Structure 1
Amino acid sequence: MNVIEYQPNMTVEYCFPDNKSSCTKEVRTGPGHIFLFSFLSCISVCTVFFNLLVILSISHFNQLHTPTNLLILSLAVADLLVGLVVMPVNMMRLRDTCWYLGEMACTFFLVINFLSVSASMCNMVFIAVDRYIAVSDPLLYSTKVTVCKMSLFIILGWSFSLLYVLIYLYFNDHLLQSQILSRCHGECILIITSSWVTIDLVFSFICPCSVIFILYSIIFSLARRQAKAVTSVLNATSNRHRDKVSKSSNSKAAKTLGIVVFVYLALWIPFYLCSLTVENIPYSSLVWTVLAWLIFINSSLNPLIYAIFYPWFRASAKYIVTCRL
């Protein structure tokens, strides 16, 4: 018998009826949940599609094998993991609260979850550093930043992200199978200690966010100064045309900077502000669900921000979609 009587006219289902320590089961099948499930499924499919498009474009066309594009490729791989693994699993957990795959699969899922997010942020920092070098020293950029050097930095970035995730899970007792902090059987959660909330806030948000914001501010300042220097050496007959080009470049740089910083801050600040009150908000609450999905949606927006505005991406995507490779 899969249900036991709880009170008159009400029954409680369990994830594993034969296990006395089983978690209670909740299946959400209302019209609102069906619509939400369909909507999130579309987001997951779009995330996979756009990031695959970026990966195929850069991987297939030799002309796109540049240091900057390698960073965009690495970012797309991290975001692809979110759309391919993290989003589908979280959608299933929105429908059925039970975890049926066991402790090892739970640990593997948590590793993929944190690794994809951590690697995504690490690549965003690398992209900011790459653009800073390109703007501050454009003549020596090709000698300072090569494909081989960038590949090495990408490998180190992923390795650092994986090491951080393993340490993070280890000190929160989730890599020790005999000490997994779950309240009942059929649950896959990570109970984070208060000290690691602060550590993660510093290393996963404050530090990368500060680096990105400072570097993009310097980039914008240097771009304006360089544009003024170019304008100052032009002759009188071409000044008017060059002013228009300069203003257009500055406007585009300001717009790109604003999109990058705003999206990054808008999707991450609410999560980390809420994490400071982690003891007062249940992990399964609507608040955590919304905040987590805001972070996942960042993986859908990254290919749009970092790739779709480039002409090479539009051209290569057209060849791929129309099967003209």
Structure 2
Amino acid sequence: MVDEYANETGDFVSSSTISPFPVSWSRGELIFQVFCLSLIMVIGIIGNGLVIVSVIISRQLRTVTNVYVVNLAVTDLLTVLNIPLTIVAMLSDSNGWPLADWLCVFTAGCLIVCVASSIYTLAMIAISRLLVVTRLRADDKALPFRRYWIITALILIWSISIFMASIPAIFGVGQLGYDTRYSSCTWVSSHPKSSTYSAILAAVLYPVPLVVILTCYLIIFRHFHKHIEKMMSNANTGVNTTSATSSTNGQQTSRNAWTAGQKGSMQHRLNKMNIKVTRNLFYVVVMYAICMTPFGICLLLTGSASIKATPFAGVILMMNSCVNPLIYAVKHPHFKGVFKSILTCRLKSIADRPYDIRNT
């Protein structure tokens, strides 16, 4: 009867009820994964907590770009807070997930939402830096950022992320829950459309936002290159003009030269600051690409080697949730100073916090 029904329905029943072979790990491999995830959790909680607190209490860090940095820290913090349940799933015996089923579904959905939110937040950071850098002037206060723009961007990021995790429930493509193949709370490999859902996640969460990010940063670097060339050309022209007119009106020329020098110096400082901030944020993007690429490749491939490597690629992906604060602590001078003040309990050395976000 089962065979007849399977033939009549295109083998749907047989393909949906046969569980995929489970991936087995040696005791050493399991201990290694648990140790790495535990270390990522500790560093991620401390580091991302520091980022969030720093932006709240430091005036220098209350900028438009850092709104997205805080959103990135929140998603990373939520990711690492789910690691204990991930470890429980990994250590589960042959009886499967030992806790309530809804908790495993919630963990899987939360991980997908956080990963999606992270990558689209990085894309929004790249767009934000592009608009700031290409439109910034020394005396320009009308930057293309307002509260409604920021709120709209954040709503869009989280809406896309929640939608990606809701695809199985809405369209029946895949199923979130305990996966017996990997002993994890992700999406069920035995579902007939599991590979389709994997392909959707790999396509939407990796190449699309990554192309946006790389395009934005290429335009930014090209803009910096042209601006530096223009400043050098103007500096040479200014020297020649000053030499030619100094004999006719020395005092006025000196005053104009001083004013132009002040504006040029301010513009130079602003550009230097933006180059440094953009470079530091680019490091974050590079690290995310390094951490995300192995997992994305494993989702697209179906061979036994990729199946075996997927859990380790997942650990590398989780690692991204704790590396961003380390980058800020090493490369970003303002974050570095505030981190040090918080860890040494010298909060008085931190600038007064403002009531409004500064557009810088």
Provide TM-score, normalisation by structure 2: 0.68
SS at match of 1:101: coil
Name the residue aligned to 2:318: 296
- d(CA) in 2 for partners of 1:91, 1:181: 12
Contact 1:58 1:65 in 2 (8 A): yes
2:90 is the alignment partner of 1:94? yes
Name the residue aligned to 1:323: 345
Name the residue aligned to 1:276: 300
Aligned ranges 1:83-162 → 2 under 5 Å: 83-85=80-82, 87-97=83-93, 98-139=96-137, 142-162=142-162
Count the aligned residue pairs.
293
Q: Give the direction of change, closer, same or farther, for the CA distance of 1:108–1:73 in structure 2 (3 Å limit).
A: same
Identity %: 28
Name the residue aligned to 1:5: none
- d(CA) in 2 for partners of 1:223, 1:79: 31
- d(CA) in 2 for partners of 1:149, 1:251: 24
Contact 1:216 1:257 in 2 (8 A): no
Once the 2 structures are TM-superposed, how far is the Cα of residue 302 of structure 1 from its aligned partner? 2.3
- d(CA) in 1 for partners of 2:179, 2:315: 23
- d(CA) in 1 for partners of 2:207, 2:168: 17
Contact 2:202 2:296 in 1 (8 A): yes
SS at match of 1:143: coil
- d(CA) in 1 for partners of 2:287, 2:35: 24
Name the residue aligned to 1:219: 220
Aligned ranges 1:49-60 → 2 under 5 Å: 49-60=46-57
Q: Give the direction of change, closer, same or farther, for the CA distance of 1:183–1:265 in structure 2 (3 Å limit).
A: closer
- d(CA) in 2 for partners of 1:207, 1:32: 33
Deviation by residue 1:194-221 (Cα, 9 ceiling, x = unmatched): 3333332321111101000111111111
Contact 2:40 2:322 in 1 (8 A): yes
Larger RCO: 1 or 2 (CA < 8 Å, sep 6+): 2
Runs of 4+ in 1 over 6 A off after TM superposition: 25-29, 180-184, 248-251
Once the 2 structures are TM-superposed, how far is the Cα of residue 115 of structure 1 from its aligned partner? 0.7
- d(CA) in 1 for partners of 2:131, 2:275: 21
Which shifted more, 92-101 or 118-127?
92-101
Contact 2:37 2:318 in 1 (8 A): no
Contact 2:76 2:322 in 1 (8 A): yes
Once the 2 structures are TM-superposed, how far is the Cα of residue 312 of structure 1 from its aligned partner? 1.5
SS at match of 1:154: helix
Contact 2:133 2:274 in 1 (8 A): no
Contact 1:55 1:77 in 2 (8 A): yes
Contact 1:28 1:94 in 2 (8 A): no
Q: Give the direction of change, closer, same or farther, for the CA distance of 1:152–1:261 in structure 2 (3 Å limit).
A: closer
Aligned ranges 1:130-209 → 2 under 5 Å: 130-139=128-137, 142-170=142-170, 171-174=172-175, 188-190=185-187, 191=189, 193-209=194-210
Which shifted more, 61-70 or 30-39?
30-39
SS at match of 1:64: coil
Once the 2 structures are TM-superposed, how far is the Cα of residue 43 of structure 1 from its aligned partner? 2.0
Contact 1:43 1:300 in 2 (8 A): yes
Which shifted more, 130-139 or 186-195?
186-195
Contact 1:68 1:127 in 2 (8 A): yes
Once the 2 structures are TM-superposed, how far is the Cα of residue 112 of structure 1 from its aligned partner? 0.8
- For 2:164, the aligned partner's letter is Y
* RMSD, matched Cα: 3.9
Deviation by residue 1:16-75 (Cα, 9 ceiling, x = unmatched): xxxxxxxxx999894664455334312210111111000000122344322111110000
Name the residue aligned to 2:355: none
Q: Which runs of 5+ in 2 are unaligned?
A: 1-21, 241-260, 348-360
- d(CA) in 2 for partners of 1:92, 1:294: 18
- For 1:91, the aligned partner's letter is I
Provide TM-score, normalisation by structure 1: 0.75
- d(CA) in 2 for partners of 1:232, 1:120: 41
- d(CA) in 2 for partners of 1:251, 1:65: 18
Once the 2 structures are TM-superposed, how far is the Cα of residue 229 of structure 1 from its aligned partner? 1.3
Contact 2:44 2:322 in 1 (8 A): yes
Once the 2 structures are TM-superposed, how far is the Cα of residue 129 of structure 1 from its aligned partner? 0.3
Once the 2 structures are TM-superposed, how far is the Cα of residue 232 of structure 1 from its aligned partner? 1.8
2:42 is the alignment partner of 1:41? no
Contact 1:134 1:141 in 2 (8 A): no
- d(CA) in 1 for partners of 2:148, 2:229: 34
Deviation by residue 1:65-120 (Cα, 9 ceiling, x = unmatched): 221111100000001111111x3322333333541112211111111110110111
2:88 is the alignment partner of 1:66? no
Once the 2 structures are TM-superposed, how far is the Cα of residue 315 of structure 1 from its aligned partner? 1.7
